[in-house]
Structure 1
Amino acid sequence: MAVTSIDVARRAGVSQATVSRALRDQRGTSEATRRLVREVARELGYVPLQSGRSLSTSRSRRIGIVVGELTNPFYAALVAPIVHELDARGYLGVLLHDGDIREPDSAPIFDGSFDGIVLTTTSDSRLADEIERRGVPYCLINREITGRRTASAHVPDNVRGAELVAELLTGLGHVEIGVIAGPATTSTGSERLHVFRDALARNGIALHPDAVVEVPFAIDDGCDAARTVLAARPGLTALFCANDVLAIGALEAAAQLGRRVPEQLTVVGFDDIPLARLRAFDLTTVAVDLTALARRATAHLLDRVEDPQVEPQRAVHEVRLVRRGTHAAPPS
């Protein structure tokens, strides 16, 4: 016989209405009561009927999470805390690959299956346009699109991060510097490059056009870009990569070319994904607390789902420079 909410209420010593409110994360129950009810529900194997919830609340309690390339380690680092926050609030996260949403105006995400959308990639701004047109609550995480009035956006401080890298490299005495930038169509790619270039200029250092390559945020692209830059500018002693995935690709290129890091080449990334901390990479990078960023953004989205009066917000998250083994003064 299937376990019911009455069974959960009896075991937890609360009313059936309290069980319902606690599992829906509604107001009127304490955090202690919600934890107790969820623990009992897990012990008994109780699973609320989603169709019944939808009828009673007009919500599916499902959130779509639009991501880019699923093999990219950055998305693994970002999606996990999103899913954890959703689970803590009683929502189910459903991964959606942006490449599968070819016609945003007819995408199945608008069939009522999702209460809100998390965009971790902005490769196709038409999707954001359609989300806004339909009035679905959504948030942008890590990247943002200018002019979006109804979207919340939680992003790292790209300006301060790029300035920190420029300060590090110029302070070490580097003058021959290259950049592996992300796509100019992304805020992370364009902003980090522009701020870094301006910060170098203030120190009398100009980036040679051949020393800058814009590529997708992927390891293979980072490797190819680094080989291209180092072939065009063999005197380079430092590479700033717009994220850690590109930097890992650059480290592979350096190994292939026999360029010792950090003795002959300084490499700096951005994000501080878990891979960057491994001894195999030991990557100097701009650290972003991706867990806090993702959970705060998701929590705010759910607040908007549950209360349409909650206003969108743009939050810029602090960054810090983490020095590891891939930076050094240029060879004399």
Structure 2
Amino acid sequence: MPITSNDVARLAGVSQPTVSRALRGDPRVSPATRDRVREAAAALGYVPSEAGRSLVTRSSKRVGIVVTDLTNPFYPHLIGPLHDELEKHGYRMLVFTERSDSQMASAQLLDGSIDGAVLLTSTIGSALPADLDRRGLPFVFLNREGGGAGGDAAAVDNALGGRIAAQHLVELGHRRIAGLFGPEDTTTGRDRELGFRLALADAGIGLPAALTRNGTFDFDTGYHGLTELMTVHPRPTALFCGNDVMAMGALNAALRQGIDVPGELSVVGFDNIPMSAWESFQLTTIGHDLGEMAASAARLLVERITEGSPRPPGQASRRIVLEPHLITRATTSAPPA
């Protein structure tokens, strides 16, 4: 038969409710009693039931992580720090994944199994954030934000990052510059493109439609986008990609076509995922602290959960915005003479 809290109570010489309170760290239980109960639980190999605990505390101590693209190597670098920060606060993670936000029904998140949610891959038109807000489940945006929804957020200044990328290429002397941008229905895609375009305009450089493509933040978009862009005449001498994964696809296409990077084509990415520093890439990119962004999102959410309610009506959302910076490696140089 499984060991129960009643067995622990008998061994420790206390009541069953005292066992429950002691194992929760309830301050009403003296330190000596807590120690005695924990020693008894350890001796018997007793593991408290999370289901039973949640009935008492009205808290599952679980947080849902909503992500629609687990194949993208960017997201593990957010999920790891998320897990570590949530664990510090006593929370576990459950991962919810669908192919798109529109397929993620709020009912999946509102069955009482989680205390809050982290939204990693929100789109601007998604109804999910507003539904969660209306239904009272605390949530936070991480990396991307949802258009019009009032959740707290931890993100990077995407528009500034796009500006920095453009300024770097302009300072190197490039004038025929191309852009492989992310999806227009994401804040990361939209804002990085906007910042890039504005900085080029400030430098008096146009960005014609023939030299731009929009697509998903993946390897194939970078590979096929670069292949198409290099058929334009005259060819661009520099390329900004909406994220590092796209840039790696572009670099692979350049290698396949025998295009010298950076001699014939300079390439800049965005995010500085660890792969970008590999010797096989040495990608110049726009960096920001992925770990701190993820940890900030976790802390924002725990604060909302601890407050016992989602963002009160009329209260401004809390946003933590990290500042991006240029990381120069081997994929950018002055344009060919």
Q: Unmatched 5+ residue regions in structure 2? A: 13-17, 31-36, 312-316
- TM-score, structure 1 length as denominator? 0.86
Correspondence 1:131-150 to 2 at 5 A: 131-149=132-150
Offset at 1:234?
A: 4.6
Give yes or no for contact 1:237–1:330 (8 Å, CA) kept in 2.
yes
In 1, Cα distance between the equivalents of 2:250 and 2:68?
A: 21
Matching residue of 2:15: none
Q: Residues of 2 paired with 1:27 and 1:190: CA distance?
A: 52
* Alignment partner, residue 211 of structure 2: 211
In the alignment, what sits opposite 2:275? 275
Corresponding residue of 1:127: 128
Alignment partner of 1:121: what SS? Answer: coil
Which residue does the alignment assign to 1:109?
A: 109
Structure 1 pair 320–137 and aligned structure 2 pair: CA distance change class (3 A): same
- Provide the C-alpha distance between the structure 2 equivalents of 1:244 and 1:41, rounded to a whole number of angstroms: 49
Q: 1:98: Cα distance to partner?
A: 3.0
The range that moved more, 173-182 or 56-65, is 56-65
1:315 to 311, 320, 337: 320
CA–CA distance in structure 2, aligned partners of residues 254 and 140 of structure 1: 35
Check whether the contact 2:237–2:266 (CA below 8 A) recurs between aligned residues. yes
Asked if 2 retains the 8 angstrom alpha-carbon contact of 1:63 and 1:118, the reply is yes
Shift, 1:116, TM fit = 0.5
1:327 aligns with 2:332: yes
Write out per-residue CA displacement over residues 3-47 of structure 1, whole angstroms, 9 at most, x where no aligned residue. Answer: 86959x98xxxx95454128xxx9999xxxxxxx99x99999664
Q: Is the partner of 2:94 in helix, strand or coil?
A: strand
Shift of 1:104: 4.6
Please state how far the C-alpha of 1:75 moved relative to its aligned partner.
Answer: 0.8
Go from structure 1 to structure 2 and tell me whether the alpha carbon gap of 1:303 and 1:6 turns closer, same or farther (over 3 Å shift).
farther
Query: What is the letter of the counterpart of residue 199 of structure 1?
Result: A
- Quickly say closer, same or farther: Cα 1:72–1:262, change in 2 above 3 A: same
- Secondary structure of the 2:260 match is coil
Unpaired runs of at least 5, structure 1: 30-36
Q: How many residues align?
A: 317
Shift of 1:66: 0.7
Partner of 2:24: 20
Q: Deviations over 1:140-199 (max 9, x none)?
A: 0011123222x1111101122112111110100000100000001001101111111111
> SS in structure 1 opposite 2:25?
helix
Contact 2:68/2:101 (<8 A) preserved: no
> Matches of 2:236 and 2:319 in 1, distance apart?
37
Shift of 1:107: 3.3
CA separation in 2, counterparts of 1:198 and 1:100? 30
Q: Which residue of 1 aligns with 2:33?
A: none
| Counterparts in 2 of 1:42 and 1:322: CA distance versus 1, 3 Å | farther
Tell me which residue corresponds to 1:224: 224
Separation in structure 1 between the aligned mates of residue 255 and residue 91 of structure 2, nearest angstrom: 45
* Partner secondary structure for residue 130 of structure 2: helix
1:45-68 C-alpha deviation (Å, 9 max, x unpaired): 664311122111101111110112
- Shift of the 120–28 alpha-carbon distance from structure 1 to 2, 3 Å rule, reads farther
Q: Structure 1 pair 43/313, CA: closer, same or farther in 2 (3 Å)?
A: farther
Show the 5 A alignment for 1:152-301. 152-301=152-301
Single out whichever of 292-301 and 95-104 deviates more from structure 2: 95-104
For residues 254-292 of structure 1, what are the alpha-carbon distances to aligned partners after superposition, in whole Å with 9 as ceiling and x for unaligned? 111111111111100010011111111111111110100
Once the two structures are overlaid, the 10-residue window that deviates more, 71-80 or 44-53, is 44-53
Task: State the shift of 1:100 in Å.
Answer: 7.1
Rg (Cα) greater in structure: 2
What is the RMSD computed on CA atoms of the aligned residues?
Answer: 3.0
Counterpart residue type for residue 314 of structure 1: R
What fraction of aligned residue pairs are identical, expressed as a percent?
Answer: 39
Which segment drifts farther, 66-75 or 122-131? 122-131
The answer as to whether partners of 1:3 and 1:44 remain within 8 angstroms in 2 is: no
Moved more, 122-131 or 235-244: 122-131
The CA deviation string for residues 56-93 of structure 1, in whole angstroms up to 9 with x for no partner, is 11011111101121111011111111111122222111
1:51-66 → structure 2 map (5 Å cutoff): 51-66=51-66
